A = this chain, B = another copy of it.
Amino acid sequence: MQALAATAPTAHQSAGELAILDAAVRLFSVHGYDGVSMRRIAEEAGVSKANIYHHFASKQALYFAIMRRSAEELTALLENLAEGKGSFEQRLQVFASAHLDHLFDNQARVRLVLREAFSGDEEKSRAVVEQMVGGLVNRLIAIFEAGQRAGLLRDDLDPGLCAHLLMGADLFYFQAHGLLQQIPEAGFARQPDRYSKQMIDVLLHGMLAQPAEGRVK
């Protein structure tokens, strides 16, 4: 399969088309592209299979439409994520917390994009970077670089690696959330807020040149 491509803006959509998109997002995010049939989508959307082909040229075209829409939505949400005010520490704290909320509030689309991003297909990874996370990552790196220039971040750390650790801590928690439920010792799996606080506390404590004293209670 090809990677998703940038396409024309969204036109107005009929109720049926919206139902199709909604069902397809849900199904693709859980079962993947090959695990979902057009019949199943039509059934879940309450329309005929032929109707899907009236709105979308092919199964791939439907999938691309969903990826494009997801990319737009997630990009819009991510847009303001790195623009927080306040101190270096506060900005990172707010980012981590908001990022985690954002992931859980958009589970289906996030799963869809993660699947594409981590598929191992170079073309897909590039598309995800260019159209979605690239800008966010660069801005987050810029924050760390600025912090490093200001002497707030340890000067022996790679800012890109710091950004990776911060985003990764959120993303991995999101991914592993279901699995953590199966581990009795992982009580933090049921408290995303508490996780975010302790996680960012550990990272900042480990990254900052002069770690803050305010610790988690």
Contacts and interface: CB of A to CB of B under 8 A. Distances in A.
A150 interface: no
Contacts of A126: 182
A176 B164 contact: yes
A154 B198 CA distance: 11
B205 A187 contact: no
A176 B118 contact: yes
Interface in A187-201: 187-188, 195, 198-199, 201
A86 interface: no
Nearest to A168: B172
Nearest to A37: B34
A160 B198 CA distance: 12
| Size class of the A contact interface (CB-based, 8 Å) | 35 or more
A216 B157 CA distance: 8
A48 to B, nearest CB: 24
Interface stretch (A57-65, A74-82, A134-142): A134-142
A35 B1 CA distance: 11
A173 interface: yes
A105 interface: no
A211 B183 CA distance: 29
A202 B207 contact: yes
Contacts of A186: 160-161, 164
Given A34-B35, A117-B176, 7 more contacts: A111-B120, A125-B178, A157-B198, A161-B188, A161-B198, A204-B206, A205-B206
Interface of A: 30-35, 111, 117-118, 120, 122, 125-126, 128-130, 134, 137-138, 141, 154, 156-162, 164-165, 168-169, 171-173, 175-176, 178-183, 185-188, 195, 198-199, 201-207, 211, 215-217
23 contacts: A34-B34, A34-B35, A118-B176, A120-B178, A122-B182, A125-B179, A125-B181, A129-B182, A129-B183, A130-B182, A154-B215, A156-B215, A157-B202, A158-B198, A160-B186, A162-B202, A164-B173, A164-B176, A165-B169, A168-B168, A168-B172, A169-B172, A172-B172
